[in-house]
Structure 1
């Protein structure tokens, strides 16, 4: 079946015929930690992008050629079929939800357990004078999920959490509730982010549409990062750092912050050429590798890197002031 045919079938994602769930499973529910879990239907879509460099240059005129050349891992665009419905959290895991998990489970997050801390924003930090030239200061014991260097409330997305922290949270919730929680596969993540669209963002192709649906790098953040000022979106979303989750409009699936706010870990190992031989049904990434895919962009991300198709990765031990968690849950099997 070719891509055009599968994409046509995928349009039924938004139709009632595609949204049935087994038995009496609810469309949405709040779990033990107060996460709103939203039912997503099985369906088909076209994953990835083969947008020509010339087209990208028009949309992102300041992007250097090497940045556009580095997007080759988004190709080839390929048909994917998600064969089973599943639940996805409507928002990223919040500071408050992560705190509840830590308190109830006794789990010690890796940034604290290994004694090396995380990364954080420090106005006095000079990246040009650091050994690695990283945009943020760290690792440092001052920084962790409790302190990313800027103020957060319990309603903000938790950051400075590792892939292992996400696994621990999913395992605890699974045991607590007798359900199967996990991180999304990379395919499930993009399927959920697109919500039936084929544009760069779920709001359209114009990067400025992000101002209504995402907390990314714009004029609110520009004063803190003058070296990146030219890359700021021409508008102010009101948040220089993270925003409380669900502060912006959701996509058609009812999911918030699929673009921006915090990068989100996925379950999959990263493979640069994986798309070239990915199976159509429920791809789960390569079997071997040492880094895991993260998706969606953050409050510090330029619009080029907040597109639905963009892929990034980190080692599982990474704890970074831009990276957070969104969980999924397997739908109950049919009776």
Structure 2
């Protein structure tokens, strides 16, 4: 049944579901359903989290690149799940983060505000970037930034991602959701607990990070896929998960185009961000069972 469903997603999204719309009584005009390529993650055991060896490696590469030990002094990686072996059922997850073009179908169909943020709201977040840094990622007149249709959508909150999942579910009849941290991590790193999707040694040629540039998002799927065929699981943009660290906060994973090193780009790395946050470094992908 799962195999048949996988074929349906690839085939019907492209051929049939792309013409579906919400009922006329709900929407006067409805956008096409965005195509979403998915990977099937097989049922089985996998290693989640990190041990002392992996964390030490992450601190060391951060120190080598940045020339300071802030991540170690602040114990950034000590909050990671202690490495353990856990069994998960099979499931499906998008091979890439949701793109601007895919999100645009949601915006057009629902009349939702396009990804953007006011200067006041941005400054209230207390981030190191000035407001000018957000402008290349902000949408104009409800349309994505020119030339970035196939880039990951950013400036979307966790709540925006949830609403997108609900909308896509209603359009396709498939129950999409933001993945919990553990489902995201297995899909990105595979079953064997390797440090990165490609192995245990950091390689700046394998991801979009600040080690090589271009210091911006790039089209999805430009680098080699991970063990289960997922792209951009390390670098590119952090991704929202459904897992909460505390009330009002959700774990983000994966690192971004702005990170060097890249200890934070390991699938085991984690930190919390407010659900309402709209950030130029955070996007999302969805899963279903």
TM-score range, shorter chain: 0.7 to 0.9
Residue equivalent to 2:265: 306
CA distance in 1, matches of 2:92, 2:3: 15
Partner Cα separation in structure 2 for residue 100 and residue 249 of structure 1: 27
**1:72 alignment partner, one of 78, 91, 99:** 78
Aligned to 1:25: 5
1:163 aligns with 2:158: yes
Q: Is the 8 A contact 1:249 1:256 kept in 2?
A: yes
* Matching residue of 1:200: 195
Q: Secondary structure at the match of 2:166?
A: helix
Q: CA RMSD in A?
A: 2.9
What is the CA–CA distance in structure 2 between the aligned matches of 1:89 and 1:305, rounded to whole Å?
22
The DSSP-based 3-state class of the residue aligned with 1:44 is: strand
Q: Does 1:41 align with 2:56?
A: no
The equivalent position to 2:167 in structure 1, one of 172, 175, 180, is 172
Given the superposition, is the C-alpha separation of residues 139 and 255 from structure 1 closer, same or farther in structure 2, using an over 3 Å criterion? same
CA separation of 1:75/1:176 partners in 2, compared to 1, >3 Å: closer, same or farther?
Answer: closer
Corresponding position: 1:107 with 2:98: no
Aligned equivalents of 1:153, 1:70: Cα separation in 2: 32
For residues 110 and 271 of structure 2, what CA distance do their matches in structure 1 show?
30
Task: Specify every segment of 5 or more residues in structure 2 that has no aligned partner in the other structure, as ranges.
Answer: 14-32
| Aligned equivalents of 2:159, 2:126: Cα separation in 1 | 25
Give the deviation of 1:318 after TM superposition. 0.3
- How many residue pairs are counted as aligned between the two chains? 259
Alpha-carbon distance in structure 1 between the residues aligned to 2:254 and 2:181: 11
Q: Does 1:181 align with 2:181?
A: no
- 1:97 aligned to which of 98, 102, 105: 102
**What secondary structure is seen at the aligned counterpart in 1 of 2:167?**
helix
Give the SS at the match of 1:81. strand
Give me the whole-angstrom Cα distance separating, in 2, the residues matched to 1:74 and 1:260.
18
Counterpart among 185, 191, 194 of residue 190 in structure 1: 185
- 45-54 vs 318-327, which moves further: 45-54
Which of 244, 250, 253 is matched with 1:269 structurally? 244
Identify the residue that residue 21 of structure 2 maps to in structure 1: none
Separation in 2, partners of 1:251, 1:217 = 20
Q: Cα deviations across residues 83-127 of structure 1 (Å, max 9, x unaligned)?
A: 2x2111111111111111110222225746xx66875xxxxxxxx
Q: 1:65 to 1:50 in 2, by over 3 A?
A: farther
- Are 1:211 and 2:205 an aligned pair? yes
2:80 counterpart of 1:88: no
Q: Is the 8 A contact 2:47 2:86 kept in 1?
A: yes
- Please say if residues 256 and 281 of structure 2, whose CA atoms lie closer than 8 Å, have aligned partners that are also in contact: yes
My pick for the range that moved more, 197-206 or 175-184, is: 197-206
How far is 1:65 from its partner? Answer: 4.1
Are the aligned partners of 1:37 and 1:88 in contact in 2 as well (CA < 8 Å)? yes
Q: Sort the Cα spacing of 1:135 and 1:290 in 2 relative to 1 into closer, same or farther, 3 A.
A: same
Distance 2:212 2:44 in 1: 37
Return the offset for 1:191. Answer: 0.5
Normalising by structure 2, we get a TM-score of: 0.79
Q: Give the C-alpha shift of residue 54 in structure 1.
A: 4.8
Instruction: State the shift of 1:23 in Å.
Output: 6.5
